[in-house]
Chain A
Amino acid sequence: MYPELGQLALILALLLAVLLSVVPLAGSLTGRDNLQAFARPLASGMFVFVGLAFAVLTHAFVTDDFSVAYVANNSNSLLPWYYKFSAVWGGHEGSLLLWILMLAGWTLAVAIFSRRLPAVMISQVLSVLGMVCVGFLLFIVITSNPFDRLLPNVPADGTDLNPLLQDFGLIVHPPMLYMGYVGFAVAFAFAIAALINGRLDAAWARWSRPWTTVAWAFLSLGIALGSWWAYYELGWGGWWFWDPVENASLLPWLSGTALMHSLAVTEKRGVFKSWTVLLAIVTFALSLLGTFLVRSGVLTSVHAFASDPERGTFLLGLLAVTVIASLALYAFRAPVVHVRSRYGSLSREVFLLLNNVLLVSATLLVAVGTLYPLVLDYLELGKLSIGEPFFNLTFSPLAVATGLLLGAGIFSRWKKTDGGWLARKLLWPLAISIVGTTAVLIGYGGFKPWAFLGIFSALWVTVATFWDLWDKSSSRKGRLHGLKRQSRSYYGMVLGHLGLAITMAGATVVSNYGIERDVRMVPGDVATVGDYQFVFRDIGARQGPNFTAQYGTFDVMLDGERVSVLHPEKRQYSVGMSVMTEADIDAGLFRDIFVAIGERITDEAWAIRLQYKPLVRWLWLGSLFMAAGGFLAIADRRYRIREGADKKAQAGTASPEPGPATSAGATS
């Protein structure tokens, strides 16, 4: 009975979404306030029904209702309860429902947190979000219904969740990732609304910024979680494979970072508006592209959902309609006349523009690298593979260049920066970075050109960031006062940039100084990796909740002292009979020790993979910093200061928004 309720809830949500797409928009275009007033209630109603559907599906999983096909295909009675809960988004239909839940959630959030925006704007933004919801709800209702039943032959038990997914990673990675992907729909909606009503100005940028930043923060977390998960679960110690699905998440992140920075310029100086709007559209388009790539089977990936041409076509249609309509709207309605503003060649505007050039180039690179095999195949020029070696070669220079630009750009000023002053400012950071980099390289065991560039870039950013903080926090009333005086927005930026530096440092060091050995060991053998000795104690059998395992014991020694004991496993799951390797890792802030069991060579001997991974955790630590920076930035006072001003204004006049008259007045 309940699954049908879930289906009904989705259909009702679809109806509300259709109303949401049409009614407030019509109201905003005809000036009818009563129609516009429907926006918030419709958004709430839509969220309630989607939430209901999600709750029903969760209930089906938790109660082992195998009459629902999706539950039967992704769960099993032996599955631990926390995995039953996350199995809801373990497959295509359920993860799509999660996507829609996030979308409805973001829509509601925009409805709630935008009371000080003009009604016209908010109506249009919510309508556009409604349209996106319509697309996805249609998709799920027509092609990917999670509530399809297997009546009357209800299976006795389910076929189990893929063992690779029976992991903490599944509980956190998709929700965070989707929050990010879907969050960019808000920036997209703001952009489309601005194109529709023609009000594309600094105020628009200020409204869009916090939504963009928080979506970016979530996406950063989501990507980092995915990398971390793959590292200990899938990857034999790898943390990024340039797999098409991974690239699909990186594309909106790169573009979203460019967008965040471009919005800063548009908000501050009212320039680059056309470009920012385009970025907002492109970023969300890339989110949609990612959804398509993962679910259509067009590209091969370990991460892809089961593919289905019918679904693929529908998704592509959805993607096409959204992207073509928005880009057409952009082509016709984006402003062409330039704001006549002066800025010097070393101004902050130019630095941020260059930042955009690098980030967009990186986006283009990853997009081209991912889609190129498809293009060649279409042109019947053969099946080519583009993988890690290509991307590492081409992406690294862009990453290093971004870091170098960042360090210099931190000191730049709006409108004009004196070249001589900037050069002098950079001398000390340069010296410190060179010395620091040399020290690090010596510490890790030798000069490698890419290691030098990567560490230098990371240090350069770090030193410049702290130097700027030092400069800005100098105050007659003391350092502490100076520090407190800086806005949260500024500290958000500091954290964000530090996070980037930390990630770069981690990536550089682990790639250049990590050691990996595949050795043949029998119990009693000792292997050496770097400064560590691995003693293979024994290997025996162990029973888990839904698997049996070969359970190995390794002592890890450093300078004769036992540093840790590791227990890698080779598991065989009882339901699917699949075999999985569970590596064991001794995690540390400055290094990971990684042991995994490979194939059995003889009765006694096993192939063991041993790895020493210096600074690998910094990769994800950096992302935590970046996300924290994003969350801090949106807590800035300027986004909340209006509440007081609002109340005063509403007491005095009718206008809900003390509008930014200057930028609205400037020629746009």
Chain B
Amino acid sequence: MLRIVNFLLVLLLSGGAAAEVADVYDFSDRAQEQRYQNLIEELRCPKCQNQNIADSNAPISKDMRDAVYRMMKDGASNEEIVESLVGRFGEFVRYKPELDSRTFLLWATPAIAVLGGLLVVAGVVIRSRRAGPESPALSAEEQARVNKMLADQDKPS
């Protein structure tokens, strides 16, 4: 009996739009909430052992999450929010390094590696095309030795 009551209550509550819980932070829509989630996953907790502020329980992480939320509410763009935190805590809190002269090599690594590899492969294929047939041809002298050996073998021992 109690179960049925429970079930009905839940149906009532879940069916009704009014019963929706508040987010820990209030967002106007799912897109905003998703944007917030993405932002806090991109920012690093300055105190922790390599965690983003989404996963970290440290007080400073909470402060940073609050600040991100506040700035989102105030209408700041993603770059502005991140810049504001970087301005206080340093580049360290950015998990996605900005592309500048320092990090150029970093961002270019996959492209360089793949292109370099492709060049090597191209070189290998071209070189193999120039190669002769599979087994190296025998010189005349070697051919004579082979003939002699084969002839010897045919003799009864």
In the complex they form, do A and B come into direct contact, defined as C-beta atoms under 8 angstroms apart?
yes
The answer to the question of B5 belonging to the interface, with a C-beta cut-off of 8 Å to chain A, is: no
Q: Which of A302, A341, A358 contacts B51 (CB 8 A)?
A: A302
Q: Are A526 and B125 in contact (CB under 8 A)?
A: no
The answer to the question of A340 belonging to the interface, with a C-beta cut-off of 8 Å to chain B, is: yes
Please, which residues of chain B bring their CB within 8 A of the CB of A362? 110
Q: Are A357 and B118 in contact (CB under 8 A)?
A: yes
B63 smallest CB distance to A (angstroms): 13
Please, which residues of chain A bring their CB within 8 A of the CB of B96? 387, 389-390, 393
Q: Are B129 and A520 in contact (CB under 8 A)?
A: no
Interface 0/1 of A577-612, CB less than 8 Å to B: 000000000000000000000110100000100000
Interface 0/1 of B77-102, CB less than 8 Å to A: 00000000000001111111100001
Residue of B nearest to A397 (CB): B110
The answer to the question of A11 belonging to the interface, with a C-beta cut-off of 8 Å to chain B, is: no
Interface 0/1 of A354-368, CB less than 8 Å to B: 101110111011001
Interface 0/1 of B116-157, CB less than 8 Å to A: 011011001101110111111000000000000000000000
Interface 0/1 of B42-86, CB less than 8 Å to A: 101000111110110100001000000000000000000000000
The answer to the question of A519 belonging to the interface, with a C-beta cut-off of 8 Å to chain B, is: yes
The answer to the question of A296 belonging to the interface, with a C-beta cut-off of 8 Å to chain B, is: no
Q: Are A535 and B20 in contact (CB under 8 A)?
A: no
Q: Are A365 and B109 in contact (CB under 8 A)?
A: yes
Please, which residues of chain A bring their CB within 8 A of the CB of B97? 384-386, 390
Residue of B nearest to A532 (CB): B14
Kindly state the separation between the CA atoms of A388 and B44 in the bound complex, as whole angstroms: 10
The answer to the question of B4 belonging to the interface, with a C-beta cut-off of 8 Å to chain A, is: no
Please, which residues of chain A bring their CB within 8 A of the CB of B24? 518-520, 598, 601, 607
Q: Are B21 and A519 in contact (CB under 8 A)?
A: yes
Please, which residues of chain B bring their CB within 8 A of the CB of A393? 96
Q: Tell whether A520 pairs with B22 under 8 Å between CB atoms, given A302-B51, A342-B128, A390-B97.
A: yes
Most buried by A among B20, B21, B52, B102: B21
- Contact segment of A79-87, A375-383, A630-638: A375-383
Interface 0/1 of A213-249, CB less than 8 Å to B: 0000000000000000000000110100101100000
Q: Tell whether A338 pairs with B21 under 8 Å between CB atoms, given A368-B106, A368-B109.
A: no
Q: Are B7 and A560 in contact (CB under 8 A)?
A: yes
Q: Tell whether A389 pairs with B117 under 8 Å between CB atoms, given A302-B49, A302-B51, A340-B131.
A: no
Q: Are A525 and B21 in contact (CB under 8 A)?
A: yes
Q: Are B13 and A526 in contact (CB under 8 A)?
A: yes
Q: Are B55 and A235 in contact (CB under 8 A)?
A: yes
Please, which residues of chain A bring their CB within 8 A of the CB of B95? 385-390
Q: Tell whether A357 pairs with B120 under 8 Å between CB atoms, given A520-B22, A525-B21, A526-B21.
A: yes
Please, which residues of chain B bring their CB within 8 A of the CB of A358? 114, 117
Please, which residues of chain A bring their CB within 8 A of the CB of B52? 387-388
Q: Are A384 and B92 in contact (CB under 8 A)?
A: yes
Kindly state the separation between the CA atoms of A364 and B55 in the bound complex, as whole angstroms: 28
Please, which residues of chain A bring their CB within 8 A of the CB of B57? 599
**How many residues belonging to B are interface residues under a CB distance threshold of 8 Å?**
58
A277 smallest CB distance to B (angstroms): 16
The answer to the question of A543 belonging to the interface, with a C-beta cut-off of 8 Å to chain B, is: no
Q: Are B102 and A385 in contact (CB under 8 A)?
A: no
Q: Are A667 and B92 in contact (CB under 8 A)?
A: no
The answer to the question of A157 belonging to the interface, with a C-beta cut-off of 8 Å to chain B, is: no
Please, which residues of chain B bring their CB within 8 A of the CB of A519? 21-24
A276 smallest CB distance to B (angstroms): 14
B24 smallest CB distance to A (angstroms): 5
Kindly state the separation between the CA atoms of A601 and B23 in the bound complex, as whole angstroms: 12
Most buried by A among B14, B41, B136: B14
Q: Are B91 and A384 in contact (CB under 8 A)?
A: yes
Q: Are A361 and B25 in contact (CB under 8 A)?
A: no
Interface 0/1 of A504-524, CB less than 8 Å to B: 000000000000111111000
Please, which residues of chain B bring their CB within 8 A of the CB of A353? 121, 124
Q: Are A376 and B102 in contact (CB under 8 A)?
A: yes
Interface 0/1 of A175-217, CB less than 8 Å to B: 0000000000000000000000000000000000000000000
**How many residues belonging to A are interface residues under a CB distance threshold of 8 Å?**
69
Please, which residues of chain B bring their CB within 8 A of the CB of A350? 121, 124-125
Kindly state the separation between the CA atoms of A535 and B113 in the bound complex, as whole angstroms: 51
Q: Are B136 and A340 in contact (CB under 8 A)?
A: yes
B32 smallest CB distance to A (angstroms): 12
Q: Tell whether A342 pairs with B118 under 8 Å between CB atoms, given A382-B91, A383-B91, A527-B20.
A: no
Please, which residues of chain B bring their CB within 8 A of the CB of A520? 21-24
Please, which residues of chain B bring their CB within 8 A of the CB of A394? 107, 109-110
The answer to the question of B1 belonging to the interface, with a C-beta cut-off of 8 Å to chain A, is: no
Kindly state the separation between the CA atoms of A350 and B92 in the bound complex, as whole angstroms: 42
A392 smallest CB distance to B (angstroms): 9
Kindly state the separation between the CA atoms of A59 and B125 in the bound complex, as whole angstroms: 59
The answer to the question of A466 belonging to the interface, with a C-beta cut-off of 8 Å to chain B, is: no
A70 smallest CB distance to B (angstroms): 22
The answer to the question of A114 belonging to the interface, with a C-beta cut-off of 8 Å to chain B, is: no
B21 smallest CB distance to A (angstroms): 5
B12 smallest CB distance to A (angstroms): 10
Q: Are B44 and A385 in contact (CB under 8 A)?
A: yes
Interface 0/1 of A2-21, CB less than 8 Å to B: 00000000000000000000
Kindly state the separation between the CA atoms of A353 and B124 in the bound complex, as whole angstroms: 10
Please, which residues of chain A bring their CB within 8 A of the CB of B54? 236
Please, which residues of chain B bring their CB within 8 A of the CB of A345? 125
Q: Are B20 and A528 in contact (CB under 8 A)?
A: yes
Q: Tell whether A343 pairs with B125 under 8 Å between CB atoms, given A387-B44, A398-B110.
A: yes
The answer to the question of A454 belonging to the interface, with a C-beta cut-off of 8 Å to chain B, is: no
Kindly state the separation between the CA atoms of A533 and B15 in the bound complex, as whole angstroms: 10
The 10 tightest CB contacts between A and B, nearest first, are A357-B117, A387-B95, A361-B113, A389-B96, A340-B131, A533-B14, A518-B24, A527-B21, A302-B49, A525-B21
20 A-B residue pairings within 8 Å (CB atoms): A235-B55, A236-B54, A300-B50, A340-B134, A354-B117, A354-B121, A357-B118, A357-B121, A372-B106, A384-B92, A385-B93, A387-B50, A387-B96, A388-B42, A390-B106, A520-B22, A525-B19, A560-B7, A607-B24, A667-B136
6 new A-B contacts at CB < 8 Å, known A364-B110, A560-B7: A357-B113, A364-B109, A364-B113, A517-B23, A555-B10, A557-B10
